[in-house]
Each structure stands twice: as C-alpha cells, then as structure tokens.
Chains A and B, each alone.
Chain A
C-alpha cells in the first residue's frame, strides 16, 4: 500500500520504517470503523504534527490538534507523534494520560459535559447530574451503547454566576434544571428516550 506518511518514499522513509504496515492497517481500520469526529489516517496525523513540530513545546498543541480533528487521540498514532517530536512513546503516552481533555477512544457523536464543582453544587448540580445520567442511561466517562452520547465531568466552566452549567455539543448552557435539560436534549436528539 501507499505510505500514508508521505507519498514519496524519500520523505517518509524514517517514519515508514518505524511504523509497520501491520500497525498501520490496524490503525486505519480503527479510524474508519465508526462514525463521529473525522475519520483519520496516518497521513492526517503526519500533516498535523509537521505543521506544529517547530513550536517550542509542540506536544500539547499537537495533541490538541489531533484530539480536535479526530475526536480522540488514536493510540496507534502515538509512535508517529513521538518520533516526529523526538520523544519516547512513553513520554507522549504520559502526557495524554495526564490531561482529562485527551481521549483515547472515539467519543459518542454528542458530548455532554456537566460541571460538578462547588458553585454548581450550590445550585443543584448533584440532582441535575443524576437526572442526566438516568436520562442518558450512562455514567460519567461512559458512551451510550449506540454511540450517541458521551457524558463527561468538568470542574468549572467559568459560568458560576449562572449555575448549574453544562456544555451540550459545544454550547454552554446556564441555570440548567432537569426540565431545561430535557428541552435541550429534545432539541438535539428528538428521538432520544423519554424520561422514565
């Protein structure tokens, strides 16, 4: 197959050697197998890294770019990122695992983030979170079986004067009640399960 890291053998030779075909095929299968976020291939990862590698401390911008573009950081992409930035795979893995934002699995098509911090707790966030969990049928950190929703905790959205706050598919909402959540949910997912 064609080398996805550079159409030309001379340019991509080092990476090609490092990245076995077997791994590559597995990686591309993983990337293409499900909906949500962009499909990815090694060439895309290579382009993202190449565009940012010259920055001092490039790893965080690279990981953010991959995470944003693909929706997560495919573990199969880690060796290529490490090699391009002259880091060990362990270093890259260590950074990915440290930060809550960096996902290692493809998330659901709609990500819902619920603030669990003090200000929101003072305005009913614990009950709201319980309602959302029941409504979606998933716990924090989980993705619903059909791949529709991922529920993530967040510790402060800076919307503390309008607590409790949640983010639904990138949009910030304030003063959210269980009823308001149901309205927001039916606007983005009209056929989601009715409340029990």
Chain B
C-alpha cells in the first residue's frame, strides 16, 4: 500500500527547503522499501511551519512542520506515515487553529489539492462556477457579481460588477480579459499563492469573465519575479486547452476563449492597469490618461476587463454559491472575504483569509503572535509600499476599505508588514520616496521629480540642515504629489511619508508640534495652494 505524502511546491516553501525535504522522503522511503506517493501541493499559507509535510493517514491529513531534510529519517522512525507522534507533529491539518479559524473561500483549495491536477480541482468543486455561469448567461452573471458587492482586490477596490457591466455593454469587438498578476507590493503574495497553489481557479474566473462580457482573448500579465507561478500557470493552461476548458466552444457553450501569459520585466509601475496595457502592447510601461477607461478602450483600444488575480479567483465561488452568500460576509461596503498577507517581522506570518472588517490587531497579534524578533511592534504598514504606517495604538482599526481610509490609509492588496522597535521610520520614509523615484514611469513631473526631491529633502531633515524650512518643502511636495500625479504611484507615496512623520516625528529629529499640520486622516491642513518651490530647489 502506498501512502500519499504532501510536500508543498509553493515557492516560499521551496525557499525554505521543501524540494530537499521531498527528495529526502523519496530516498528514505526507497531505502526502507515503503510505498510513498509524493504529492506537491500548494501551501496553506502558514509559513511559520513550512515546509509543512502532510500525510494522508486514516481519518485525515496529519501535518508535520517545519520539516527540514535532516528531520526526515526521524519522521520515518516515528512512523509518521501512520500519522504517529513526533516532535514536529501538528495534528490534523484542517484542525490547526491558525487555519481553522479562517474563512477560506478564494483559498479553499490552496494547500489542499495538487495544483497540477485538473481532476483534483474538479473533485474539490472546481469549474462548478463556470458551469453555473453558462446556465445563467452573461446578464445574470454580471448581475450576480454586482449584487455580491465584490470590489477589486488589486488595490483600487473598484466594484467588479460595474466594470464588467461597462465592458458587456460596450459595442466594440474584439473584447479582452486581462489579469493583472503584476503583484509588486512588498508584503503581498496572495496572487502568487493562487497561481502556484490553485491555478485552475484563476483560469475559471477569467473564463467566466470572458463569457460574461463577450471577450475572446485573455492575457495574464505575470511579473517575471514569479517563475514558479509561470510554470504552474503554463501547465494549467495547457491542461485546460486539452480538456476543453479553454479554446473553442468551451463546455459546449458555443463560446471560445484563448488565454496567454505575458511576462512583465521588473517594473513596479506596470501593476497600474494602463501601464500594464502599454507593456502588453510592447511599449514602455507609461501610465495612460483616464478616461477613456479600459473597460471601454483598453488593450489595443478595445473594451477590456482588467482584474487582479484574487478578484478573478473569487468570482467562481460567488457565481457557484450566489451573490447573497458572499454578501453576507464583510463590513460596510466591503463585502466578502479578503486574503490578508502578514509579512515582515511577524512571528507567524502568512496568508489569512477572513471576512472584511477584521481588526488589524487580530491579524498582527492574534494570528501573527507579535514580532519574530520578540521585540515590541513599533509600526505596521498596511497596503503595500504606498500604504500608511500605523502604530501599535492604532491596531484596532477594522480592515475594510472605509475604515482604513478613515485613518488616511489604504487597504491596497491586503499586505501587512510588521516592524519591530529597531526600525528607523525616517529611513522608511526616505525609502518610500526612493522607491517611487526608482519605479516612476516618468510621465508626470510630480512623481518623476517630486520623488527624487522628496528623498533629498528627507535627507536634509534627518541631517538637521534647516529642518523646519525643509519640512515645509516636504509638506508642499507631498501635497503636489498627492494631487498632481497621474497615477497612485506618485499620488500615494506621500502616505507612508506623512504617516511616518506624523506618528514617529522623533525619528526625524522633529517634535509632534512640528508635524501638527498633518491631520488624523493624513490630509495636509493649512498648506495653501500646492506650491512649486519644493521642486525649485533648496
């Protein structure tokens, strides 16, 4: 009899030695003449315990972790193939509180199934959403999606149903569906985990979108930093073509949908949807003016539905279970669940899918268990490199679009990065400007020059070169970038800067009084008209 042993192929698990663990299990089983089938599943996202090995033993899957290759012999000695006791034994995988307390909808299959197996996907409810979508027809699918209240998970939070409706009603042809898989925010990895751990669900969501709006061609714009995701998606696309889930006459619907991966090339700004379209068309990733909006004039000037990976991956379960099911979860106008990603200096980092509205404290201290270093939490950045920093005393903020915005922040793509007491927030503020300078597409002046000037001015403040005057320059500069930039890269870079200034003035050698021009919602008060002397020089 052969026992199924699960060793994640998720790239984070691999970065911690999962391939070596799989190899050691294979070798050890062979030397002991034991029948073992190794399944390379995705990760469940509990990275404090990766590589997490699971054994299908009797009642369920028994987890062990974190397993190093050197632990494998002792696991065999303890008869882990029968689920027996071992110092790394975590019990039934699905019963581990860190996982069990979550509400996994989008990530229901992640870590459970073999991402390369279409049969496994279907056995766990895959493609039920597409079948239902074909029964419902385009108008009903879009209506359901609108009713569900799903808002884009890429960062902007635009209502997905409204976007699809616009594309559906657009008369031009052909239409396109483009998946934004350029997940560049530090602290985020949910797109990667979908693509590596459950790639068919992304294909299913995009196919539903194509059928709903009448698109015939799709592209996944995938960042080049994700080679594992590229491999997993390529395999899934090939399988879907060979089984009738992509290509002509999908599932007998009479509709066809072609899908191709296009690689990014290391430009953060291409996560902005119009820069992404430029890149797919073979140009520099320069942001376009909006309007026209991509739903009407997008890729190659044609109506284009653009959504993030997680948004597409959430569509199938909404269509399968109905709008009401999804709507019943969440807070305010933020409906459903959100896969938060806890990263940085967190003791138990990973993927935490919960209904919208969960408290930041619950993520950072409840799931995260505080810092990895054991020192106190000093700052938490929510929403990626363009998101605001929060202090320990602000952790009771609810994680939904409105509540985070009320504190001046953004929910973004759900990335949460924890910093301990050793962090120098002036340096983080400078880094925000530097990052913007490195990644700016260069089309608009506030972003292109403002970011460089911003880094210089912060240096001056830190080095006590006329700090008061330079603070005034920085204030004007942030105002100019916020209101004068063409896209969120320049427009939101002031958020990490202003929040660092407001909550950690001491790190800049300033007093709270110096920064009282920054409101509780991070707006700049009494700044007058945005001036240009910030750009003009010292």
Name A's B-contacting residues (CB within 8 A). Answer: 56-61, 63-64, 85, 87, 91, 94-95, 98-102, 115, 117-123, 154-163, 165, 170, 172-175
Contact = CB atoms under 8 A, between A and B. Distances in A.
Interface stretch (B134-142, B282-290, B450-458): B282-290
B428 interface: yes
Contacts of B484: none
Contact of A161 (B185, B282, B284, B349): B349
B439 interface: yes
A160 B189 contact: yes
Interface in B257-288: 262-268, 279-285
Contacts of A121: 428, 431
Given A117-B186, A119-B343, A64 B11 contact: no
B227 interface: yes
Interface string B409-439: 0000001011110010000100100010011
Given A57-B282, A94-B284, A118 B47 contact: no
Contacts of A172: 11-12, 14-15, 228
A158 B14 contact: no
B265 A122 contact: no
Given A121-B428, A160-B343, A161-B350, 12 more contacts: A99-B285, A101-B266, A117-B187, A119-B417, A123-B344, A156-B186, A159-B12, A160-B188, A160-B189, A160-B341, A163-B343, A172-B228
A123 B372 CA distance: 9
Contacts, number: 148
Contact of A98 (B11, B285, B349): B285
B192 interface: yes
A62 B478 CA distance: 39
B308 to A, nearest CB: 14
Given A155-B439, A158-B183, A122 B423 contact: yes
10 contacts: A56-B300, A57-B281, A57-B300, A99-B285, A118-B186, A119-B186, A123-B345, A157-B225, A163-B343, A174-B12
Contact of B280 (A60, A117, A155, A165): A60
B250 interface: no
B420 to A, nearest CB: 7
B265 A158 contact: no
B15 A118 contact: no
Contacts of B192: 158
Contacts of A122: 343-345, 417-420, 423
